[in-house]
Amino acid sequence: MQALVLEAKDRLALREIAIPETIGSHDVRIAIHTVGICGSDVHYYTHGAIGPFVVRAPMVLGHEASGTVVEAGAEVEHPAVGDRVCMEPGIPDPNSRAARLGLYNLDPAVRFWATPPVHGVLRPTVVHPAAFTFKLPDSVSFAEGAMVEPLAVGMHAATKARLQPGDLAVVMGAGPIGMVTALAALAGGCSQVVITDVQQPKLDLAASLGPIRPVNVAQENLVDVIHAMTGGWGADVVFECSGNERAAAGVFGPLRPGGTVVFVGMPMHPIAYDVATAATKEPRVEHVFRYAHVYPRALALMGSGKIDVKPLITNTFGFDESVAAFDFAVQMPPSSVKAQIVLEA
Ligand code: ZN
């Protein structure tokens, strides 16, 4: 089949590749419609590796996908052939200790699309477990369906934060994950989100999504802003989504006593975690690795209209333009958030 193949670092090709896939009794075959380009796809393209995951053989990219079920295994009750769906890209071993604990995202044996050596889905079809394939509400487009994967990260972060109605949250970083975390935090009951970045176009877009107060940290001091808003008390929750070492080291500054920090972004290097400052606030600190159990909730929020991800989809490319789409994503202008590739018109 025709696929977007990462041959090696810096080398992409839209070419034929044989991916033999037989459909099991609990699997479905999906015709891929839309695939979002993720920061991780781009990083494999430009660096050939992410941490311990190294591209050693040609690998198909893409893991943020939606499509239509074209074949269902003998035991599959849902989804059905013809259903529009999106897919959770990580498949754990259901018998693993982590999966049995409900922590299936932490199964060391999880097979995740476009994480070496597992092929991604920038290709016409894929076979996937029905249990990790979710029917889209009628009001949710294929483009929005392909946004469920990044939204799931924000949903998982908001779940870990154990938000309460009326909470004030800070989201550090207005990239795609910061944006979806802000949306998930608002849907989860936050009265307002304060979002930070240094790129003004991203902040302007974020401010248009809801009760979101942008703070350009090149011009304004975040702690001053939060103290002014809360009479010196602080924010209930801080989501670190920038992956920037300096920002991540500052998570306790705007936090209220007894508040919660959720680390979402992945800094390239260890951060200066200030235990002494943290201790005076007795915060709860959470981390997230991808997500678990949140796709149905994300789709329910999209279906009801409570979360609208459409403004985040800023650039759309055809399948034949896939290489150009990745070159665009490598040098994404600050006004762009998410680029997607459409395989089927
Ligand atoms: Zn992604």
pLDDT of residue 140: 98
How many angstroms separate the alpha carbon of residue 147 from the centre of ligand 1? 9
Q: Tell how far the Cα of 150 is from the centroid of ligand 1, in angstroms.
A: 5
Classify residue 296: in a domain, yes or no.
Answer: no
What is the residue-averaged pLDDT of the chain? Answer: 96
Task: Give the C-alpha distances (Å, rounded to integers) separating 277 from 244, 250, 258.
Answer: 19, 10, 13
Q: Residue 210, CB half-sphere, CA atoms under 13 Å: how many? A: 22
> 17 and 143: one domain?
yes
Give the model's pLDDT for residue 268: 86
- Return the CATH number at 244: 3.40.50.720
User: How many angstroms separate the most distant Cα atoms in the chain?
Assistant: 62
Residue 57 sits in the same domain as residue 141: yes
**What is the reported pLDDT for 287?**
97
Domain that holds residue 326: 2-147+309-342
Judge whether 295 lies within some domain: no
Please indicate, yes or no, whether residues 171 and 78 belong to a single structural domain of this protein: no
Percent of the chain with pLDDT over 70: 100
Q: Residue 315: what pLDDT? A: 97
- Residue 256 Cα to ligand 1 middle (Å): 31
Cα–ligand 1 centroid distance for 156 (angstroms): 13
Q: Does 99 fall in a domain?
A: yes
Is the pTM higher than 0.85?
yes
The 10s digit of each residue's pLDDT in 253-295 is 999 999 999 999 999 899 999 899 899 999 999 999 999 999 9
With DSSP H G I counted as helix, E B as strand and the rest as coil, what are the percentages for the chain, rounded to 5? 30, 30, 40
45 and 142 share a domain? Answer: yes
Q: How far is the CA of 120 from the centre of ligand 1 (A)?
A: 11
Cα 279 to averaged position of ligand 1 atoms, centre (Å) = 34
Q: Are residues 14 and 140 in the same domain?
A: yes
Residues 191 and 282 in one domain: yes
- Whether the predicted pLDDT of 326 surpasses 70: yes
Q: Are residues 225 and 98 in the same domain?
A: no
Of the listed ranges 45-54, 153-162, 305-314, the least confidently predicted one is 45-54
For the chain, how many structural domains are there in total?
2
Q: Are residues 134 and 14 in the same domain?
A: yes
Query: In the beta sheet, which residues pair with residue 260?
Result: 237, 284
- Kindly give the distance from the C-alpha atom of residue 65 to the centroid of ligand 1, in angstroms, as a whole number: 10
Expressed in angstroms and rounded, the spacing between residue 141 Cα and the centre of ligand 1 is 18
Specify if 297 maps to a domain: no
Q: Which of 240, 256, 287 is the last residue of a domain?
A: 287
- Is 230 inside a domain boundary? yes
Q: What are the Cα distances from residue 74, in Å, to 26, 78, 79?
A: 7, 11, 12
Mean pLDDT, residues 145-159 taken together: 98
Q: What are 175-199's pLDDT values in tens digits?
A: 999 999 999 999 999 999 999 999 9
- 141 and 9 housed in the same domain: yes
Q: What mean pLDDT do residues 1-11 have? A: 96
Mean pLDDT over residues 238-263, rounded?
Answer: 97
* Residue 80, domain CATH: 3.90.180.10
Q: How many A from CA of 290 to the centre of ligand 1?
A: 9
Q: Please give the distance, rounded to the nearest whole angstrom, from the Cα atom of residue 288 to the centre of ligand 1.
A: 14
What's the CA-to-centroid distance between 127 and ligand 1, angstroms?
A: 19
Neighbours of 188 (CB within 10 A): 22
Ligand 1 centroid – CA 19 distance (Å) = 22
Instruction: Based on the fold, state whether residues 335 and 267 are members of the same structural domain.
Output: no
344: pLDDT strictly greater than 90 = no
Q: 41 CA distance to ligand 1 centroid (A)? A: 8
- pLDDT above 70 (res 345): no
Are residues 251 and 226 in contact, defined by beta-carbon separation less than 8 angstroms?
no
227 with 263, same domain: the answer is yes
Ligand 1 centroid–CA 69 distance in Å is 22
Strands 255-263 and 284-287: parallel
| Tally of helices (H runs) and strands (E runs) in the chain | 11, 20
Residues 205 and 338: their CA atoms lie apart, in Å, by 12
Residue 302 falls inside a structural domain: no
Ligand 1 centre to CA of 34 (Å) is: 13
CB distance 196 to 207 below 8 Å: no
Same domain (yes/no): 276, 314 = no
Residue 280: partners with Cβ closer than 8 Å, 6 or more residues away: 257
37 assigned to some structural domain? yes
Q: Is residue 20 part of a domain?
A: yes
Distance 165 CA to ligand 1 centre (A): 28
Q: How far is the CA of 217 from the centre of ligand 1 (A)?
A: 26
| DSSP E strand stretches across 200-329 | 212-216, 235-240, 255-263, 284-287, 313-318
Cβ count near 205 (within 10 Å): 21
Q: What is the pLDDT of residues 72-108, one digit of tens each?
A: 999 999 999 999 999 999 999 999 999 999 999 999 9
Please count the other Cβ atoms lying within 10 Å of the Cβ belonging to residue 49: 13
CA of 105 to the centre of ligand 1 (A): 14
For ligand 1, the distance from its centroid to the CA atom of residue 257, given in whole angstroms, is 33
In the predicted model, what is the mean pLDDT of residues 7-22?
A: 95
